[in-house]
């Protein structure tokens, strides 16, 4: 199956706290896993992405942890700020496979993050 | 560097009408994908174009179609609009269609 399951649906954290969003996938052919941030009235913006040959990738306050054997990956937002309040989507893609993979990201259902000041 | 530009930003159409949405990709990006975003179904892939050819298509009825021009700009068309077609339509561009997708701000379509 091509599904990507994301949890939680919503998350409330205090300023300075850690936000953690989890995703699980089924298709072992997926080999590119991006996270997107979306503000109201805007399109999704790429935050950070990982390929399965590494277990962790960090960019600033954002870290992806990847567990290939469990088919799970997660986004950690350190020192969460009110400006981080947005909807976050995980996604997965089969890269370099041609055919039915071209242009197709499979998205999780999204997590609405609220960071209280 | 200009981003992905989608026009118009908002549209209101009546059931049964047809609509055309436009997407201008980032310069140098030859792959354009289209997605439908709704609260119930989330983000769903519609189709992808590369060098004026549709290479991939999602599970949407034939009322949804698209095309790409030689300058990589793309349009999508929805015919015989239904109330359920109300959604945010997003396009994304990449160089090759294999990752690094950049999305536009979308076109909000409301069907009444």
Chain A residues in contact with B104 by the CB 8 A cut-off are 43
Chain A interface, best mutation among B4, B7, B23, B55, by max A CB count within 10 A: B55
Q: Point out which residues pair with A56 in neighbouring strands.
A: A65
Distances (CA, A) of A81 to A12, A13, A25, A44, A110: 11, 9, 28, 19, 19
Residues A80-99 pLDDT 10s: 999 999 999 999 988 766 66
Let me know: does A87 contact A111? Beta carbons within 8 Å: yes
Let me know: does A95 contact A32? Beta carbons within 8 Å: yes
User: pLDDT at position A90, please?
Assistant: 97
Contact B43 A44 (CB under 8 A): yes
State whether residue A112 is helix, strand or coil. Answer: strand
Residues A29-60 pLDDT 10s: 888 999 999 999 899 999 999 998 899 999 99
Q: What is the mean pLDDT of residues B99-103?
A: 86
Please list, in sequence order, all residues whose beta carbon lies within 8 angstroms of the beta carbon of residue A54, skipping any fewer than 6 positions away: A66
Contact B98 A101 (CB under 8 A): yes
Residues B12-33 pLDDT 10s: 999 999 999 999 999 999 999 9
According to DSSP, the β-strands at B10-13 and B107-111 are parallel
pLDDT above 60: residue A1: no
Is the link from the previous residue into A8 a cis peptide, with omega within 30 of 0? yes
Let me know: does B79 contact B70? Beta carbons within 8 Å: no
């Amino acid at each position: 199956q091509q599904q990507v399951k994301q949890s939680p649906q919503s998350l409330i954290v205090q300023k300075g706290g850690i936000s953690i969003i989890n995703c699980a996938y089924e298709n072992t052919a997926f080999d590119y896993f991006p996270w997107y941030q979306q503000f109201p009235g805007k399109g999704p913006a790429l935050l950070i992405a990982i390929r399965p040959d590494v277990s962790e990738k960090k960019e600033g306050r954002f870290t992806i942890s990847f567990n290939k054997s469990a088919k799970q990956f997660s986004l950690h937002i350190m020192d969460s700020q009110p400006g981080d309040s947005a909807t976050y989507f995980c996604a997965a893609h089969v890269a370099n496979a041609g055919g039915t993979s071209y242009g197709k990201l499979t998205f999780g259902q999204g997590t609405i993050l609220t960071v209280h000041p | 560097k200009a981003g992905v530009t989608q026009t118009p930003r908002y549209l209101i159409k009546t059931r049964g009408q047809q609509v055309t949405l436009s997407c201008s990709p980032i310069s140098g990006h030859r792959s354009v994908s289209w997605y439908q975003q709704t609260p119930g179904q989330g983000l769903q892939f519609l189709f992808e174009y590369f060098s004026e050819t549709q290479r991939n298509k999602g599970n949407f009825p034939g009322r949804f179609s698209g095309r790409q021009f030689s300058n990589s700009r793309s349009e999508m068309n929805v015919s015989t609009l239904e109330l359920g077609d109300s959604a945010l339509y997003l396009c994304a561009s990449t160089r090759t269609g294999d990752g690094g997708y950049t999305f536009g701000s979308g076109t909000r379509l409301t069907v009444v």
